[in-house]
Amino acid sequence: MFKDLPVDEIPDIIRFYQNEYEDKMDAYCRKELKLKIFVPRIDTLRSILKQAANLFKLEKTVLEIQSPCIVLGDIHGQLIDLLRIFHFNGFPPLRKYIFLGDLVDRGDFSMEVLVLIFSLKIMYPNQVYVLRGNHEWQDTQFKECFINSAIEEWRTPDIAKWVNNAFNQMPYAAIIDKYALCIHGGVGPSIQKLDDIQNIKRPGPIMDDEVATELTWSDPFDNIPLYMSSPRGVGYLFGQNALNSFLRNSGLELIVRGHECVNEGVRYSLNKLCITVFSASNYCGQNTNKSGILVFNPGTKPEGLAFDPLPWVTKAEAVNQTSSPIEKRGYYIKPSSSEKLLSNFRNQMVPQVSKPKLNKSGTITGLPPITGLNSPPKLPSL
């Protein structure tokens, strides 16, 4: 049935989210316009998940990345927060992005978030990096998992297999400029040095590996020296001495992680050696938290930015753009011509923001103008 990979919709997906929201981002953020989403064909969805899995498989368990780059914490299916960040900072390939995991669950747009981020990963594999979080593990036995609604919407149980295959191949960590370790959760008693993370076996479910479980479930806590069991029931709370020991043993200076909703979007803890980033604002529609990102530039300390919380949006309030917005429906493109199509798209696509300028140190300058709801205040530096 899927003999040839139908990649023709991947450029359309990216172009749709760039063009549709380009001049109307503030109106969408205020819910003056109904959120529009792109619904790809089922064969396109399978292809995106398969190609993303293949790319993750080629990557190391611990990535090595150079700045400039932008780090995002949990998105949790909140598509509007993701789009606001992209439209403020610029879509790949203009910016390099690292996602700390937990792309899915909680919000109503988990599959849309996956489709967009994975499409960007396929198009620009060296500008988009995705780490595994504790929610990048789907079990249909749990009602809160987005995969159940996806199976119902797409009318095939195969989606669970496709999604989990991609999740099981994901890398677990990334080191920025040889000093900052990006992970989803934290460290635990089984994680004493970087080698412990590098030795996680892939592919495989998170819960089958003690190190992977601690890495994706643990949280920092200021009032303990080492470790204690987590109130989550999985993972650990880790303190200052535990973090100091791990950083010293690994030749690193700090960790950047997600996993926790922090009201200010970006929070510094454990003597500023641990930075928590959470990018889903108004989390679950029940919080007043901001959406945070962390910007790394060469030779400078990372800078936190926070966006105001947005109104909660449900799938029932959205408008579907079904299949391709241009007339390329009902046929497949063979792999050889598919690669040519993707290459042409990479070379010809007109960016939606001005090309960033890099000074001699490689620092990002020339960001888009700051207006309205797109105006994040700078947070304290380290």
Catalytically active residues are 135
**H/E run at residue 86:** helix 79-89
- Residue 162, token pair as written in the block: 């496709």
Sign of the CA dihedral running 110, 159, 257, 370: negative
- Are 86 and 351 in contact, with CB atoms under 8 Å apart? no
Helices (H), 90-236: 110-123, 146-154, 158-169, 194-198, 210-217
Cis amide prior to 203 (ω within 30 degrees): yes
- Residue 209 CA: distances (Å) to CA of 9, 193, 256: 36, 16, 22
Rounded-to-10 torsion of CA 129, 296, 82, 260:
90
Does residue 268 sit in helix, strand or coil?
strand
Angle, nearest 10°, between helix axes 110-123 and 79-89? 30
Question: How many Å apart are CA 230 and CA 219, to the nearest integer?
Answer: 8
Structure-block tokens of residue 221: 């806590």
User: What is the C-alpha to C-alpha distance for residues 152 and 327, in angstroms, rounded to an integer?
Assistant: 27
